[in-house]
Amino acid sequence: MFLPPGFGSRSIMTKFGKMVYYTAQGEPWDDRSEDSKETLVFLHGFGGGSSAYEWSKVYPAFAAEYRILVPDLIGWGRSDRPARSYQAEDYITIVTEFIEQTCQAPTTVIASALTAAFTIRAAIARPELFKSLILTTAAGLAEFGQDYRNSGFAQFAQSINIPFLNQLLYGTGVANSFGVRGFLEQRQFAKPEQIYPEIVEAYVQSAQQGNAEYAALSFVRGDLCFDLSQYITKLKVPTAIIWGQGSEFTSPDIGRRLAEMNPQAIRIFYQMNDVGLTPQLELPAVTIGLIHQFLPLLEKHGKTQSVDVEMLPA
């Protein structure tokens, strides 16, 4: 387990199975006052071996002030991993169910990458569940004609979509230290030197869980992709977006175009240099600082219902 001090696990049941999440349960946090604190939910993105670990260098910085909830999404980490072909609608439902069962008031959700795009769609469908969104590289990977499903990597995975070959591809190409490090270097991090052994080991442990290949290969094949630009104008929840300059498949230009489509909701767009898809792992201290900065700005906009875009310098 790669949990920060003072955090432990709990679980809920969803229509897809048991969903494990992590929250403060002891020193140095005063978990007796958890019910009186505002909640922050942190949602990890997708990739070989993804899990709640992705946010583990960030969420402890908020535990003194907030009730922290950080789940392993269904199909990942220690949550149930049903053998199925996952679709985008599954994860929109999973995000919605988790917030319904764990949060008693509109909640700020901090989410990463493709999961951030699912969270936008969940907030469109159920805006009463969400207070604000802080998202990193929020893309469905099929925006403005730049569709990941047309990439050679995705088409190769689609061409061998046979159970035995799927398991072989996953076991040899993903669920080991070499495969995980290669994925992190090529797809997730802007600077490979930022990948230290603990990160690799955490991803490997998640990737080697039973049935972990089903969600991971659904992602690799592009089964979960969609064009977020077809939905973004319907978002009404105050939102801030952080976009890694070195994001694979999703350049900051895509993020800016999405933000410009809905300035009433997307109040902040910030390009973060020297990171890829996961600034929360590459530059966690800077990510913490940005979240601290954005939380009161979004609350102010939510109360005043201002329509001005708060653009911070890149």
Q: How confident is the model at residue 1 (pLDDT cuts 50, 70, 90)?
A: low
Per-residue pLDDT averaged across 153-163, rounded? 62
pLDDT at residue 313 tops 50: no
Q: Domain locations in the chain?
A: 7-304
pLDDT at site 129: 98
pLDDT at site 197: 95
Whole-angstrom distance, CA of residue 170 vs CA of residue 10: 29
Structure tokens at 128: 């009463």
Whole-angstrom distance, CA of residue 177 vs CA of residue 174: 8
Neighbours of 44 (CB within 10 A): 25
Considering the entire predicted model, what is its pTM? 0.93
pLDDT at residue 261 tops 90: yes
Check: CB of residue 129 under 8 Å from CB of residue 96. Answer: yes
Q: Is it true that domain 7-304 has CATH number 3.40.50.1820?
A: yes
pLDDT at residue 309 tops 70: no
pLDDT at site 266: 97
Whole-angstrom distance, CA of residue 117 vs CA of residue 141: 9
pLDDT at site 95: 98
pLDDT at site 99: 98
Q: Could you tell me which of 45, 23, 5 has the C-alpha nearest to residue 278?
A: 45
Element (H, E) at 123: helix 113-125
Q: How confident is the model at residue 314 (pLDDT cuts 50, 70, 90)?
A: very low
Whole-angstrom distance, CA of residue 312 vs CA of residue 264: 16
Residues 9-67: pLDDT tens digits? Answer: 999 999 999 999 999 998 898 766 667 899 999 999 998 899 999 999 999 999 999 99
Q: How confident is the model at residue 105 (pLDDT cuts 50, 70, 90)?
A: very high
Mean pLDDT for the chain? 90
Per-residue pLDDT averaged across 288-309, rounded? 75
Check: CB of residue 91 under 8 Å from CB of residue 13. Answer: no
**More confidently predicted of 112 and 147:** 112
